[in-house]
Amino acid sequence: MAKQPGTVSQSISKEDIYLFHEGNFFHSYRVFGAHLTKEGSREGVRFTVWAPNAVSVGVAMDINQWDGSASPLELVPESGGIWSGFIEGVQYGDLYKYAIESVTGERLLKADPYGVYAEVRPNTASRVGSVEGYEWSDQAWRRKRRAPYAKPMNVYEMQLGTWRQKEDGTFYTYRELADLLIPYVKEMGYTHLEFMPLTEYPYDLSWGYQATGYFAPTSRYGEAKDLMYLIDRCHQADIGVLLDWVPGHFAKDAHGLRQFDGTPQYEYADPMLAEKPGWGTLSFDFGKPEVQSFLISSALYWMDLFHFDGLRIDAVTSMLRLDFEKKPHQWRPNENGGVENNDAIEFLRKLNRIIFSYYPNSIMAAEESSAWPNVTAPAHEGGLGFNYKWNMGWMNDTLKYVETAFDERPSLHNLLTFPIVYAHSENFVLPLSHDEVVHGKKSLLDKTPGSYEEKFAGLRLLLGYQMTHPGKKLLFMGGEFGQFIEWKDEEQLDWLLLNYEAHRQMKDYTAALNHFYLGEKALWEIDHNWEGYDWISASDAGQSVITFMRKGKKSGDTLYILINFRPIAYEDYRIGVDKPGTYKEVFNSDETRFGGGGLLNEQPIKAEKEAWHDREYNVPVKLPALGIVILKKSGRSSETLKTAVEPAAAKPAPKRKAAVKKKNDAKSVVLPETNEINETNESGTKRKGKTK
């Protein structure tokens, strides 16, 4: 069980100073920053800040007419540049900045790096805040929380300010969102929410990915205790909550961390290491112990005080690679001649070790877009120590495929089959994230080709393919009901689309699919090794069909999955099965209530004694155009389409992944040498279904 934060110290101790400069002061937020306190008989605030190269530091506030020299801080002896002081009469909500005189004589006004409360943009001052005293009611959730390796994990990614807005275009508060968001998430069947960054940031259109306040929840939606209330309510409803957290870089805004004391303090001194030219930001100096104390304290802060269940670490590749999005003259190799940022590698390992030592069942997910090995292997075994990685390869291959015209899909069949080769090399999350529905990339619905009806069928197919592929799931808001245009990052989602039948049906489909996922152990119980997956046929490129099995720990939980990526229906599409008996359809994306054409397998299907796909028996299946059909051996049919289940226990801690399957295990992935589209199925049976 995690250690809980104690009472905030009134002043910094020699032990704190030592740990801070060793990079091991993991709860430095308890001392640094502005803390309401009482010293002797006086009430006020103790301010503590690290500014090692400053000539002087004061606190500029309304009460001293923003003259920091009137409220100076003292340099703590033998502290390595830590300044501290108690100022009487300062109250909750008061505005302040640190007034810093640099070694060059420059006078700077800086927001508090450890501030817990900030002005609403465009204003940039810190406010005296408090993160103590909230009465939590999520004890039951925290007692039963487990990492979801062998449990369902279906994440709804969202940006709080654009999910819904009030009629006048203003934001809902954290507290108001609790009443709107939680019933919706429960209705839709998601297990987790993921909030895009909430660490205070100056520019709306950065979406929070260029932060200035690593301990301040953005004031756009309220105060710290309001965010605690939202998370508390989510936990009481059995919804996990994750936070996008950005340790890779920070904004250059003058009031922020850039040259905080007039010199490079949080960033690398070497511009080739510090500059992120593609984003106009600065990299943290990951090798500096004080920066490690700062960042690891920030990560723990959100778990300690706000009860987040985990973090999604943004832009990990940009941390790992010295050459990330840089031209040849903008970077230099490391001491061994390589592209690896060894400081960042060791920092990430340390971060994950510390997080899991306090919160062994937390989720630490890396957005890592390269083929960096062992991202989710334990740090002590040479991995980076995360327990999940976003599967960017699957996402890129899948979206490239679904955007392709139907008659060109056979030539790209490998985009459906190759991801299985490495599907168990890491613990993966399959993301259909915000990055894929902005900047001209189109919405998920609009990516799909074809007619109006075919677009919706294609989106149902895409979500069904994601749900049945090995790995945990993530969908960005709006995809669940078929947002037609890409995400508008200043306006709310187009909820008005639910006035149209096709979008209502799309929402109903997503909810049914999500609840089906929750109830079917085969879709999540053995997610991270080969025993949970088996191809039936990977080679029907001509008809753009893949068929496979997903398996749970019990044989009766096995699902037989057929996915047809062409707009042609088949009345008799046969798949091989190992056992005789009857098979029942338990899910079909072509149901009329979802907007489909209604080509269903309404009666149990009896297996025929004839070898198919190297199996002893086969079953003939009605396979709808752009449809997914899921079968189960009779006697074990699913009754879960309308019943949500809660996320439950899983094994506690990052684990090493299974090795990639040997060549002879993956031989069915080999594709035909020709891309010719045949007018028959794999068996030679003529298709009998109509073209949709």
Q: Tell me which residues are annotated as active site.
A: 314, 367
Do 550 and 523 meet the contact criterion of CB atoms below 8 Å apart?
yes
- Check residue 641 and report its DSSP letter: T
Region for 189 from its dihedrals, namely left if φ exceeds 0, alpha if ψ lies in -120 to 50, beta otherwise: left
Give the SS3 label for residue 606.
strand
- Give the burial class of 170: count Cβ atoms within 10 A of its Cβ; 0-12 exposed, 13-18 middle, 19 or more buried: exposed
Q: State which amino acid sits at residue 249.
A: H
Count CA atoms within 13 Å of residue 68 on its CB side. Answer: 21
Nearest Cα residue to 125 out of 240, 246, 255:
255
CA–CA gap between residue 592 and residue 590 (Å, rounded): 6
Count CA atoms within 13 Å of residue 7 on its CB side. Answer: 5
- Which residues 6+ apart lie within 8 Å of 501 measured at CB? 595
Backbone angles phi, psi at 508, to 5 degrees: -60, -40
Question: In this structure, what token pair is assigned to residue 358?
Answer: 């306090």
Nearest Cα residue to 537 out of 561, 511, 508:
561
Give the SS3 label for residue 303.
helix
- CA 311 and chain centroid, separation: 8
Q: Can you list the positions of beta strands (E) in 481-556?
A: 533-540, 545-550
CA–CA gap between residue 62 and residue 128 (Å, rounded): 12
- Which residues 6+ apart lie within 8 Å of 490 measured at CB? 162, 204, 205
Backbone angles phi, psi at 176, to 5 degrees: -65, -35
CA–CA gap between residue 252 and residue 249 (Å, rounded): 10
- CA 478 and chain centroid, separation: 16
Question: In this structure, what token pair is assigned to residue 551?
Answer: 């398996």
Count CA atoms within 13 Å of residue 294 on its CB side. Answer: 24
